[in-house]
Amino acid sequence: MRTIGLIGGMSWESTAEYYRLVNEFTRDRLGGLHSARCVLHSVDFAEIEHLQVRGHWAEAGEVLAGAARSLEAAGADMVLLCTNTMHKVADAVEAAVSVPLLHLADVTADAVRAAGLRRVGLLGTAFTMEQDFFRDRLEAGGLDVRVPDAAARAVVHRVIYEELCLGVVREESRAAYREVIGDLVAAGAEGVILGCTEIELLVGPQDSPVPVFPTAWLHARAAVDAALSDTGDAPAPR
């Protein structure tokens, strides 16, 4: 099995899910006591969030590029950014290493197309929903991406940063997300991308009348597929 490099800590709540998922997928594929070969570089999210809100994306990219280099030095055969929002600096991270970056938007677009869908709603941080770095990548993968209206975007963003990143899960927030999902479906969405890794801590398939695409789950599964591809047990990532 090749070694999976994880850039985490954004937030550590969802990074813990990544670690659980890559190990569960490995166990399910290989059986017995098998677990994933992986290395983790976990950053201080407070420092990254400080750069986010000030628009200092280049500096944040330098921090994460350094994390990627440390993973490669530790033996990682691929790198995953365990966050949707920080894929805004994916190019800087990818340029910092010689091993491949498994891009979260590409993995997600592949999953949506494999389900036979094209029109999808996107939930995430305000950065992910309102800026073009993630939506453009999804659209380049053949998707028609819709986002909630401004008021709903504010609710989705607030819950992520003020609750989910702190490990707080509230029923009223789950109800609010269900309402946002319902509005996206009413506007024509055939599926909904849970485009922030923390959102999977709050809602899932049972909260949506259409298929949901949990990006952390999809990313972790794709990483294990790629890690096992040298054994002939899985296809290499595209």
Active-site pick, 15, 26, 38, 83: 83
Token readout for 175 is 């109800």
CB contact at 8 A, 122 and 193: yes
Annotated active-site residue 128? The verdict is no
8, with CB counted inside 10 A (0-12, 13-18, 19+), is buried
| 196 carries an active-site annotation | yes
Asked if 37 and 232 touch (Cβ cutoff 8 Å), the reply is no
99 Cβ partners below 8 Å, 6+ apart?
A: 5, 72, 76, 77, 78, 79
Distance CA 220, CA 10 (A): 15
Q: Which of 82, 196, 197, 215 is catalytic?
A: 196
Read off the tokens for 27.
């166990």
How would you class 58 by CB atoms within 10 Å of its CB: exposed for 0-12, middle for 13-18, buried for 19 or more?
A: exposed
Cα-based angle 57, 84, 8 (whole degrees, multiple of 5): 85
Element (H, E) at 156: helix 150-162
Please state, in angstroms and rounded to a whole number, the distance separating the CA atoms of residues 157 and 212.
Answer: 18
What CA–CA distance (Å, rounded) separates 15 from 17? Answer: 5
Q: Which residues are part of the catalytic machinery?
A: 83, 196
